[in-house]
Amino acid sequence: MTSLNETHDPALSSWVESANSADTDFPIQNLPFGVFRRAGTTEAFRGGVAIGDQILDLATVRAARAIRSTAAANALRAASGAPLNALMAMGPDAWSALRLALSRTLRAGSPAQAKLGGALVAQHEAELAMPASIGDFTDFYTSIHHATAVGRLFRPDNPLLPNYKWVPIGYHGRASSIGTSGQRFARPKGQILPAGANTPVYEACKRLDYELELGAFVGVGNALGTSVAMDKAERHLFGLVLLNDWSARDIQPWEYQPLGPFLAK
């Protein structure tokens, strides 16, 4: 497990006043990375870190030379652009160095405050983009309760298949359909087998479902044909994100056997 360092000290406070509010999602102890630009502009998307109700513009931090540590400065260079794949590929030592430098920069009393007043963009004035270019997306059942509930939709008499307790059940999803919050999309169309029918019909989904899921970004890869030891797995994970998984439940039963869902997701 990754050990907690000084950046998680609950006594820390920030010169960004909104980060000290008791109801903020982004205190100084929580500095998540993202990609943004000012809404309504043609600015280039770039890396940023949420702090209180603001976003710290990492390109501006770099231009101001507010971070001097070599390791952190190298990571900052990778984090200043978009997407964040270059930073993700650097590994946990680089991520940790940058997080520590940003934490010290944002703390109350930091001399960097004078340099970085113009590096803040209000979150409500920002447009977010995908933080990383996603080459692959694998969906796993990680909860026996979820696996049983979904299985019951399609196999009421045998909801939990025997392999579930032995091997992670996963399938490859369509990475091209992943986007940031606030998307609008058409109700999916596909083949649906009506109750009691032998022939499917092609029509719009009538049973559109959604699931709150936990997504994990894999930062550092492994060579083809090699495996990652369990005690090293956490060093490959860049971060976590909330994921909304949409499912066309009336299309899914017809197409998912035996190889899993396709147009239903």
Residues taking part in catalysis: 146
Residue 213 exposed, middle or buried by CB count within 10 Å (0-12, 13-18, 19+)? middle
Question: Rounded to whole angstroms, how far apart are CA atoms 218 and 238?
Answer: 6
Answer whether the bond into residue 258 is a cis peptide, omega within 30°.
yes
| Nearest in space to 131 (alpha carbons), one of 71, 79, 174 | 79
Helices 70-79 and 92-106: angle between axes, nearest 10 degrees: 90
DSSP-assigned beta bridge partners for residue 37: 127
Question: Rounded to whole angstroms, how far apart are CA atoms 223 and 116?
Answer: 40
Residue 94 is which amino acid? A
Is residue 141 within 8 Å of residue 50, measured between CB atoms?
Answer: no
| Nearest in space to 58 (alpha carbons), one of 30, 17, 96, 87 | 87
Contacts of 8 (CB under 8 A, 6+ apart): 29
